[in-house]
Amino acid sequence: MASKGCPTAWAMEGGALAFSKIVGGSTAARGEWPWQVSLWLRRKEHKCGAVLIADRWLLSAAHCFDIMWVAFLGTPFLSGIDGKMEKIFRIYKHPFYNVYSLDYDVALLELSTPVKFSNTIKPICLPDNSHIFHEGARCFITGWVTLASSGLMSKHLQKAAVNMIGDQACKKFYPVQISSRMVCAGFPQGTVDSCSGDAGGPLACKEPSGKWFLAGITSWGYGCARPYFPGVYTKVTAVQAVIPKPSQETSELCSGPELALAEASDLTALMELLHCAVACGKDMLVFPLSTGTSKLSDDPLAHHLTIRQD
């Protein structure tokens, strides 16, 4: 099994592979998925996806990260043209993230400066931990697909509809690997899936209210679009402890019974992360990226965080 981000030496074709592409999808229109973010390594190339959840916060998959990342928002083009580039200030991996099983495969990314929302840059709504995404619900995955004919990534954002798969069915497809922090989506016959390069991107579901909610974060799977091996996603309702409460502006965009109105701040997010780490008896992994090194920043709060590299 591998994550759906950057392939590793053991992520061989035909084996479990971290997701990097949408299989069986179609081209997305500009502004159609305004929360989709492209993460670039050292400003050179796209490596993973991410999801905008507030004006300064992104969610992605924990397995994606190295240093010197930047984020492109508001564009369906892989080149970043017509988009807005933002530097990533810090990355917080979940303290329980397991590099082998990909359990708790979630990371919170803090941008250097807040982004201004527009028609092409908007946050997705976050569910609370009691929100139910029903089995069989039609949801969407988005990302930059690897074209089978050339092995190259699509230059344009792709979208595909998938069905939510119930927990019991998911465990039948993957009897050993599935935890309660994971959810499956796709089709038993395969044909449509996310794959390498899509990691960290959204599994988005439209509610009757017309609002889009984040059900999952693209994580891993056994091959891509194979029969009886659907895509596996980090279940957002199960990893709420590392996600900051929505800001007033985001709450107004996503207002409804699913979200509690609360003012967010950098301190709120950091303290929630610290609380999670202390409660779990584990240290929090932090990568401050403003200096391009792995040293802790001058932020006095950051000095209370111990770096772990499992």
pLDDT at residue 22, rounded to an integer: 63
258 Cβ partners below 8 Å, 6+ apart?
Answer: 125, 127, 128, 131, 207, 213
pLDDT at residue 52, rounded to an integer: 95
Tokens of 79: 């080149």
Report the C-alpha gap between 21 and 24 in whole angstroms.
Answer: 10
Give the pLDDT confidence of 241-260 residue by residue, as tens digits.
Answer: 777 766 666 666 775 433 33
pTM of model > 0.75: no
pLDDT tens for the chain, 310 residues long, are 545 543 322 222 233 444 444 666 778 888 999 999 999 876 677 888 999 999 999 999 998 885 567 898 999 888 787 889 888 888 999 999 999 999 999 999 999 999 999 999 999 999 998 999 999 999 999 988 655 434 566 678 889 999 999 999 999 999 999 999 999 999 999 888 887 778 899 999 999 999 999 999 999 988 888 999 999 999 999 998 777 766 666 666 775 433 332 333 444 444 454 444 434 444 333 433 333 222 222 332 222 222 222 2
* CA angle, residues 249, 251, 257, in degrees to nearest 5: 165
- Residue 304 DSSP symbol: G
pLDDT at residue 254, rounded to an integer: 74
pLDDT at residue 102, rounded to an integer: 94
Name the CATH topology of 34-123+244-304. Answer: Thrombin, subunit H (2.40.10)
Buried b vs exposed e over 275-292: b needs ≥16 C-beta within 10 Å? ebbeeeebebbbbbbeee
